[in-house]
Structure 1
Amino acid sequence: MNLPNRLTMARIILIPVFMTFLLLKIPKGHELFAHQDLVAAIIFILAAATDGLDGYIARKRNQVTNLGKFMDPLADKLLVSAALISLVQLGEVTAWVAWIILAREFAVTGLRAIAAVDRVVISASPLGKIKTVTQIIAISAILLHDWPLSLIGIHIGQPFLYVALFFTVISGLDYLLKSRKLLHK
């Protein structure tokens, strides 16, 4: 397995570790878990950072594989979905926002599956990439409780979540419009 695929697999393996630190409530006094929210945020940010890194390395080293093409978007969806569902459980994100984001991910995955039957590849669009970046920024800010900006009274997590929601909907519509020929067969 090449390095880009290892990074993608590491992203998937980090998801339950992230969720454990975020959701498992350990009684006070256990030093390892004293800052478990911060540890969860750092794990999420590191996992999210592997997304750009694995693609960059794969293209630079000419190591793009079918496994990578399949696993990379899946790893992204799993990471964002795990974070959003966890944040809904913690009361940090409203369920309807998470539902719209997750519904778009399922819809685009479905469109890609339909296209794959016809041997058509639907590549990530610039809007889809903006969507992913805004989602990662929003989730990271919420996990960090807007630190360090919260120290001066600036809160970006929730506003950025709505920016991410906007790009989620717009990019989903873009994929739908580009795929309408496939849907009319």
Structure 2
Amino acid sequence: MDAVVKKPAVALVKPAAPKPTREEAEAAVRTLLAWTGDDPAREGLVDTPRRVTKAYEELFGGYGGDPEEILGRVFEEVGGFDDLVVVRDIPFHSHCEHHVLPFFGTVHIGYFPNGGVVGLSKFARLVDTFARRLQTQENMSAQIVDAIETVLKPRGAAVMIEAEHMCMQMRGVHKHGTSTVTTQFTGLFRDDPAEQTRFLAMVRAGKG
């Protein structure tokens, strides 16, 4: 199957200041451990700063992701297919930018192809690129749609995110089992409410 590569610009997140060194990051973790009232030098915590910085490299690895590279390869031999494509139940975990506490759930993506389709696994990679950053659910919804719009230029794109937020369950109001749902629509989905309904019905299909 032939493929073409589209190369519109999708801006990457760039730090406003020089990135601290690993040694500086580990020192900051030691400071926080001491601030909690514990002893960073005790046996159980002595290696924690190193472990935390290593974990952060994975948990926040999305800052180096490039949506254009992820979605840039489009397959045009699709037998004339131009109807709705839905990829649902993409799991993710992210961290709230307000408290650096986890939130997690699933992302559902739909789009109307415009001359070609993208490999379905690419959407999972796209979700990870934005989820593995300090985030809000609303902003993440908009970023995913914007990347799809910018790179694929579909006739319409839809994103729905369902998530639980630990900042609501572990602190503050302590409301367990609460979920948050966000949606974002462009193109045909925004112009035609019936297409929004069809997308939502396909997301819910088989879930009882």
Pairwise same-fold verdict (TM > 0.5): no
Relative to its length, the structure with more strand (as a share) is: 2
